[in-house]
Amino acid sequence: MNWILLQEKIGAVNVIKVTEENKLKGYNSDYYGFKNSLIKFLGNEDPKSLKALILGTGGAAKAVIAALDDLAISFKMVSRSGSQYLLSYEDLNGSMLAEYRLIINTSPLGMYPKVDTCPAIPYEFLTKKHYLFDLVYNPEETLFMKKGVEQGAKTKNGLEMLHLQAEKAWEIWNS
């Protein structure tokens, strides 16, 4: 993997290594963790058959974007205030959720201690054909995930992603 090109593509760093020349070099292990966890989560589903909604626009979203791009999964981003390039939560409706069956929460909504919060999507339009991936891992099942399960959606939290990105960080530091 060409880390330099990948870092430029992602535009966010979450691992810093001190080189032999005593310089700092940045990497992103979230990409690796998310991509590999997502592939396992989707099982036999062809990733190219999916379209995704990315909830949130922070650094983790940048790694998710790069992974989805590499998996040829088209996506749209959703934020509290939409723009020319972003959907707002108010833009989401039944026909959009019928088209976008992979929904990825990259925001901190639902994370401990504010476990009673979740992204403001129209959960009533979710079905058993939907996949909800929440990067949050504490609590184990977020309100976002609970509301998805109530509609029959498949859900996954970010714990496996955390483990995979930590293993990748360890590999980077020790290479």
- Nearest in space to 85 (alpha carbons), one of 99, 59, 65: 65
Q: How far is Cα 8 from Cα 10, in angstroms, rounded to an integer?
A: 6
In a domain, 119, yes or no: yes
Residue 11 has a pLDDT of 85
Structural domains in the chain (count): 1
The answer as to whether 8 is a domain residue is no
The verdict on residue 21 lying in a domain is no
For residue 1, pLDDT beyond 80: no
Is there a domain that residue 81 lies in? Answer: yes
Query: Does some domain include residue 12?
Result: no
Each residue's pLDDT tens digit, 88-127: 999 999 999 999 999 999 999 999 999 999 999 999 999 9
Full domain range(s) for residue 68: 29-173
What digits encode the pLDDT tens for the residues 48-91? 999 999 999 988 999 999 999 999 999 999 998 878 889 999 99
CATH number, domain of 130, equals 3.40.50.720
Domain assignment present for residue 54? The answer is: yes
DSSP collapsed to 3 states, the chain: CCHHHHHHHHCCCCEEEECCCCCEEEECHHHHHHHHHHHHHHCCCCHHHCEEEEECCCHHHHHHHHHHHHCCCEEEEEECCCCCCCEEHHHCCHHHHHHCCEEEECCCCCCCCCCCCCCCCCHHHCCCCCEEEECCCCCCCCHHHHHHHHCCCEEECCHHHHHHHHHHHHHHHCC
The pLDDT of residue 3: 55
Q: Is residue 9 part of a domain?
A: no
- Residue 2 above 70 pLDDT? no
